[in-house]
Homo-oligomer: A and B are copies of this chain.
Amino acid sequence: MPETLLCPRNLAFELYEVLDAEGLIQRERFADHSRETFDAALDTARSIAENLFAPHNRKADENEPVYKDGEAILIPEVKPAVEAFLEAGFHNASRSFDEGGMQLPNLLSRACFAHFQAANIGTSSYPMLSMGAAHLIEVFGSDEQKQRFLKPMIEGRFFGTMALTEPHAGSSLSDLRTRAEPAGDGSYRLKGNKIFISGGDHGLSENIVHMVLAKLPDAPPGVKGISLFIVPKYLVNDDGNLGPRNDVVLAGLFHKMGWRGTTSTALNFGDRGECVGYLVGEPHKGLSYMFQMMNDARIGVGMGAIMLGYAGYLYSLDYARERPQGRLPDGKDPSSAQVPIIQHTDVRRMLLTQKAYVEGAFDLGLYAARLVDEEQTAATEDARRTAHELLDLLTPIVKSWPSEFCLKANELAIQILGGHGYTREYPVEQYYRDNRLNPIHEGTHGIQSLDLLGRKLMQNGGAGLRQLLGLIQDTCGRASAFGSLDALRQPLEQLLARLTEVTQALLGDLMAGKVNLALANSALYLKVFGHAVIGWRWLEQAIRAEQGLAKGNAADVEFYRGKLQAARYFLTWEVPGCHHELELLARRDDTCLEMRDSWF
């Protein structure tokens, strides 16, 4: 059977040859683990994903949730899949043993979760959103809130959502209008409307805990006046039992191009004036709490984009091996047999491009997950801090690069399948539709580009950036030991040198207050910076492949050759193409900035 979720050999390469998952076992927190326990968790994830998530991926797409009597009704296959996920404990994969978790490194819990995202992004979203909401309460909630809401979330009885967007406040959260009035008893009464709330209703759990951003009466304007509230669908009594229905109403469902298995809801809070909410942490700090969770959520989105790309790549690869069509340019004898289309160079180009995109992004996504482990469990405070700084810088790339390029991979997968790929009888068109959401939610592409250039580069005095440049140089240094990698290393070094110059110039403009001009072409900057990062990760993979080849294990030779070829593709086909965009950035090109509204 061909691989359909991800390639286990590549996963092992990432975990054990590139990202040193075994090194984590040396740490106290993971001391009870071993490569065997890691692999057992991965096998369980794979098995549940294949057997319970993948089989209803298409059905969920074709039968999107329906609104009925104030509830969202899902197809019946979702619940047993999610229950198996919960029963196996994947929603608590990184939690401590004493909290009922598996105490796995984040690297491993991400790798486990990747299987569910590849198998069925829609169904995987329900636990993912819930894990994000639980994490917020865990870090910022009171003990009582943890007891009342977090505990049943850990037990898998309550699910959660993130309720941020409003009709007039999407990218611009400072403009949200939902209000929260103190009720006098320590609780609050909320009033407002939220849209695009994923998992806002579903019937998969006893209760849904909405994490809602709203403004207190004395809120200062803007982002510093937003508070975070717990608003449960059902109130929870002191004994933990469910109380009456809270005044949160499912106002309707959005009908999306893809990702249809996940309900996207409009929720009305306080239509009857009785919507009870509980303030989390301090007043007016809600958005900063959300932002502290953002790295995690954005890695999650990036991984989702990667896994959709990965699933499409594997499917189109298998198809290209099986499908006979045409003959090679130098073998046009029509009486000869047709060749499998993988033999056509242009089909190989489309497969190699997909491989370079999805495996490059997969490496980065897991690298980011590994940084979370460094952030949390590295031996020294200094190491934990530097990991955090680097992760902060990389987060916009981890979120946005796969959203753009793994979507492109899906586009190529359709193209390889041709007319068949365009039909719903094959899975690749769904991956493409599903993936199109990723450049939009959890901060659009444009927002990510402003975040990177306008904020992250300079954060912590530029420490993250200095660190990244040092790491890339270190990789280049190690690559120079392999003469075979010269042609791969040099384009990266050239890009890095020019990117460094251009970055300094743009930061200079920003510090001089020329914000509009400096940020005008932030989308180009995001693309080039992302290509430099992925180029770096490919050079790192190429080094590991050379090291693997040197070990002389015959069974692995073709795998490593493929890695080297994909690295070559990315570093010689994609990376050098960025110099033109750097040139536009360097000269502060104002073509878009100067375009007038009335000229369109």
Contact = CB atoms under 8 A, between A and B. Distances in A.
Contact of A424 (B257, B340, B411, B444): B257
B436 A422 contact: yes
A62 to B, nearest CB: 9
Interface in A331-355: 332, 334-335, 338, 340, 342-349, 351-352, 355
- By secondary structure, the A interface counts as helix
A523 B573 CA distance: 13
Interface stretch (A320-328, A384-392, A475-483, A531-539): A320-328
A297 to B, nearest CB: 16
A-side interface size class: 35 or more
Nearest to A344: B446
Interface stretch (A45-53, A166-174, A367-375): A166-174
A579 to B, nearest CB: 7
A421 interface: yes
Nearest to A579: B580
Contact of A520 (B345, B580, B592, B600): B345
Interface stretch (A83-91, A228-236, A561-569): A561-569
Interface stretch (A28-36, A108-116, A425-433, A465-473): A425-433
A378 interface: no
A522 interface: yes
Interface in A388-443: 411, 414-415, 418-419, 421-425, 429, 432-433, 436-437, 439-441
Contacts of A98: none
Given A170-B419, A516-B329, A593 B345 contact: yes
A399 to B, nearest CB: 15
Contact of A348 (B351, B454, B592): B592
B419 A165 contact: yes
Interface in A443-495: 444-446, 449-450, 454
Nearest to A590: B345
A151 interface: no
B519 A558 contact: no
A497 B562 CA distance: 36
Contact of A432 (B222, B425, B436, B569): B436
A445 B415 contact: yes
Contacts of A437: 422
A310 interface: no
A584 B595 contact: no
Contacts of A174: 334
A325 B523 contact: no
A529 to B, nearest CB: 15
Contacts of A330: 513, 515-516
B338 A172 contact: yes
A157 B579 CA distance: 58
B562 A599 contact: yes
Contacts of A520: 345
A254 interface: yes
B351 A600 contact: yes
A185 interface: no
* Most central of A340, A418, A439 by chain B CB within 10 Å: A418
B196 A424 contact: no
Given A345-B520, A345-B593, A348-B595, 15 more contacts: A165-B419, A171-B326, A175-B325, A255-B425, A344-B446, A345-B516, A346-B523, A349-B523, A422-B437, A433-B433, A558-B599, A572-B589, A577-B580, A577-B581, A579-B580
30 contacts: A168-B325, A171-B418, A172-B325, A172-B326, A174-B334, A255-B423, A255-B425, A256-B422, A257-B424, A329-B454, A329-B515, A345-B519, A346-B450, A346-B522, A349-B521, A349-B523, A351-B600, A414-B436, A415-B440, A418-B444, A422-B437, A422-B440, A558-B596, A558-B598, A561-B596, A565-B594, A573-B591, A577-B580, A577-B581, A580-B580
Interface of A: 165, 168, 170-172, 174-175, 195-196, 221-223, 254-258, 264, 317, 321, 324-330, 332, 334-335, 338, 340, 342-349, 351-352, 355, 411, 414-415, 418-419, 421-425, 429, 432-433, 436-437, 439-441, 444-446, 449-450, 454, 513, 515-516, 519-523, 558-559, 561-562, 565, 568-569, 572-573, 576-577, 579-581, 583-584, 589, 591-600
Nearest 10 Cβ contacts at the A-B interface = A222-B334, A562-B599, A172-B326, A257-B429, A349-B592, A346-B446, A329-B515, A221-B334, A577-B580, A255-B424
